[in-house]
Structure 1
């Protein structure tokens, strides 16, 4: 399936009522850096899910992330999108489709939101759009959201977009503090034809 996708021109953006979401691209590093820098305490509270937040952010590392994501999109190995408020064009966060298993096909949805934009429904809106993109453009049958059990905000997003909690993986990964973490697996499955 990946080979088929390599030969197709995939849309590099999608819109929702309030957001313009597009893949990362060269030159986006400064915007990502500003959003990450302003949200570092909250991102670091979820280091098990976003281990990259442990490093001190820089424009260079953010630019590297954007360029790597751009290449991964074109290789069809990862699909990172930035979320921009349509009205202001301000970066409010990122979302993406990760760890594809083209045999199913299955993808994992990840997301984070700039601290001053939390609580406005942007992430739920972006995840709905991303799920539609995954189904229509990538032929996804199964979509997953995997979050640390104590991460109530991320769990609420999964529930708001009507993903079903399939189970809790107990002591599934170690957090940066060395303690074992439970993970909640949410999924949305469409019947395969």
Structure 2
């Protein structure tokens, strides 16, 4: 797996991965509101361009997960909302539905956590996921994150239902 910052020109490949993952991502609209938008190559390219600029400016750290053999984008993740005084980062991730269950996302997310600890001297990373998102919960637990708690009825889904949110963390 190649894990790198998105670059201008990556939009079409990211768009393909997004379309593949969209039906699963839309199951958790309270956690992933951007997935409710209609994807396009242009919005994917804009994400790549702004993601590269934000990475260089140390404001946000998006990453593409790319299969070494085929070169396809298998997913996306990032170290978001840096709080440099600690430092702490929110770890986010998603991947192609067609590739779930192969360990690719656990590998990629674990690499992001290690990157935060080694390159940014992070003291803490945290992941925030919907209480019903079993796949994300398994990834968090596989890479050694600890459940800190469940925020009950903390978000409202697109259907108006109240959703619980799990907070996972890993310390340096």
Q: TM-score range by the shorter chain?
A: over 0.9
Secondary structure class of the residue paired with 1:42 = helix
Residue in 2 that maps onto 1:148? 130
**Alpha-carbon distance in structure 2 between the residues aligned to 1:142 and 1:90:** 31
Q: 2:74 — aligned with what?
A: 92
Tell me the equivalent position of 2:161: 179
Aligned residue in 2 for 1:163: 145
The C-alpha deviation readout for 1:57-76, integer Å capped at 9, x for no partner, is 11101101111111110111
For this pair of structures, how many residues does the alignment match?
172
For 2:158, what is the secondary structure of its paired residue? coil
CA distance in 2: counterparts of 1:175 and 1:71, whole angstroms: 31
Give the superposition deviation at 1:110: 0.3
SS at match of 1:140: coil
> What residue in structure 2 maps to residue 31 of structure 1?
13
TM-score normalised by the chain length of structure 1: 0.87
Q: What secondary structure is seen at the aligned counterpart in 2 of 1:39? A: helix
Quote the residue 1:67 is aligned against.
Answer: 49
TM-score between both structures, scaled by the size of structure 2 = 0.97
Take 2:144 and 2:103, find their aligned partners in 1: how far apart are those partners? 14
Structure 1 spans left out of the alignment, 5+ residues:
1-18
Aligned partners of 2:13, 2:148: CA distance in 1, in Å? 36
Superposition map of 1:106-145 within 5 A: 106-145=88-127
Cα displacement (A) at 1:50: 1.6
1:42-92, Cα deviation, whole Å (9 max, x unpaired): 111122222111111111011011111111101111100000011211110
User: What SS class does the counterpart of residue 52 from structure 2 fall into?
Assistant: helix
Q: Distance in 2 between matches of 1:168 and 1:41?
A: 25
RMSD of the TM alignment (CA)?
0.9
Tell me the CA shift for residue 38 of structure 1.
2.1
Offset at residue 39 of structure 1 (A): 2.1
